[in-house]
Amino acid sequence: MAVHYIPEGYGSVTPYMVVEDVDQLVDFLAAAFGAEEKERVPNQDGKTGHAEVLIGDSYVMMGRAQEDFPALPCMLYIYVPDTDASYAQALKAGAQSFQEPQDMFYGDRNAVVTDPTGNTWCIATHKETLSPEELAKRAEENMR
């Protein structure tokens, strides 16, 4: 039987985060966003070298930084049912605040945090769907 080129449940684009401490990131994602651990693979030294979690309907992969492949901080945009509650939970789980929750001109309510491994998470709840014309109008007003 032929195997599909994308594993079942994965999307065409799957984030792969490279961090110094994979276990720390897995624990943070579970505490902050309810991530479900799917895989944790140790390196020869016994430390976790690779892990995969499921947050909502999205897989996130992560690997431990190496001397020839250093940590690469990134920013991810995560949709949640309640920005304010998820922001508070992320702070409780060890994140640092970068931007408190606020309504944005493009229809989302956002907050931004930095996780304990140095990655930035834009926590969002979609509040309204805008037409292209309304989005352009609001963007122009926002730049004034």
pLDDT tens per residue, range 108-142: 999 999 999 999 999 999 999 999 999 999 999 99
Identify the pLDDT of residue 58: 97
Domain ranges of the chain: 16-142
pLDDT tens per residue, range 27-78: 999 999 999 999 999 999 999 999 999 999 999 999 999 999 999 999 999 9
Give me the helices (H) in 51-128, please. 83-92
User: Does residue 90 register a pLDDT over 90?
Assistant: yes
Q: Which of helix, strand or coil describes residue 126?
A: strand
Q: What average pLDDT does this structure show over 80-103? A: 99
H-helix or E-strand spanning residue 133: helix 132-142
Q: Does domain 16-142 have CATH number 3.10.180.10?
A: yes
Identify the pLDDT of residue 1: 80
H-helix or E-strand spanning residue 52: strand 48-55
